Amino acid sequence: MSYCRMISLIAVLVWSGVASAQALNPLPSITAGDTDKPPAPWQILGFPQKNTPKPVTQFDEITLDGARVLRIRTDRSYGNLVDQASGPIPGKLAWSWRVDHPLAGTDIATRSGDDSALKVCVLFAEPLDHVPLVQREVLKVERSSTGQDLPAATLCYLWDSKYPPGTAGNNAFTARLRFIVLRGPEAPLGVWANQTRDVSKDYKLLFGDEDPQVPPVAGVLVGADADNTQGHSLAYLRDLRWLP
């Protein structure tokens, strides 16, 4: 996938106009308990079919251990569950997650292995003049051609099958998306793990060389993909929320 297609994909996922922007705090619940699909304003979106048709990662609500949780299943697929939350960061981001069946053969340092059984991402409205020149010009072209105000910075927290916790860097396709591995191959499978992240601090760690001031959030998403490694995985998430 080219840099331009990656940026275009993020645009389709977040700025497709499927829902109006929501206040950051509280973050809308993913598991309302009324149906087996996450409630609005959350939207399940896959890879743009006009490009390369791919199966869509499955997101559904189930009852597990007596609680309503989000189940995330990949099968050679790509998909994200997106909320168009926007505004200043109200505090830390917290959630609980677990992976029961990890992906094999992943390597987030390469394009062919850039898959993840579970990720939580925050998108930022970074000022365009803070983006490096070459990337800025590409972003301008994509914004003009799509008519969308594309995100200039995306931070993803990963549950990874290869690299240890603390591994951080740029996405293999684009430096506009950067990651931190929170759970690695040593993490026990089928066990809930609680996470709390200082998103402002993490933004400064990964994007601080471009923008020392943390810009407003432009979206939150939960994702999983196995389209590059052609594998399958099973994971769960619950209690995604902003802590004041």
- Taking Cα atoms as reference points, which of 37, 36, 38, 46 lies closest to residue 12? 46
- Which has the higher per-residue pLDDT, 124 or 10? 124
Fold of 3-243: Jelly Rolls (2.60.120)
pLDDT digits (tens, 9 = 90+) for 133-151: 667 777 777 666 656 666 7
Which pLDDT score is estimated for 191? Answer: 97
Residues forming beta bridges with residue 30, ordered by sequence position: none
Helix (H) or strand (E) holding 74: strand 67-75
Which pLDDT score is estimated for 5? Answer: 44
CA end-to-end span of the chain, whole Å? 38
Supply the mean pLDDT for the chain: 84
Q: Taking the model in full, what pTM does it have?
A: 0.86
- Which has the higher per-residue pLDDT, 87 or 160? 160
pLDDT band at 152 (very low <50, low <70, confident <90, very high): confident
What is the three-state SS of 11-54? Answer: HHHHCCCCCCCEECCCCCCCCCCCCCCCCCCCEEECCCCCCCCC
- Taking Cα atoms as reference points, which of 195, 174, 49 lies closest to residue 120? 195
pLDDT digits (tens, 9 = 90+) for 173-185: 888 889 999 999 9
Which pLDDT score is estimated for 40? Answer: 83
pLDDT digits (tens, 9 = 90+) for 42-92: 988 777 655 667 899 999 999 998 999 999 999 999 999 988 778 899 899
Amino acid at 91: G
What CA–CA distance (Å, rounded) separates 8 from 6?
5
Each domain of the chain, given as residue ranges in start order, spans 3-243
Cβ-Cβ contacts under 8 Å for 5 (sequence gap 6 or more)? 51
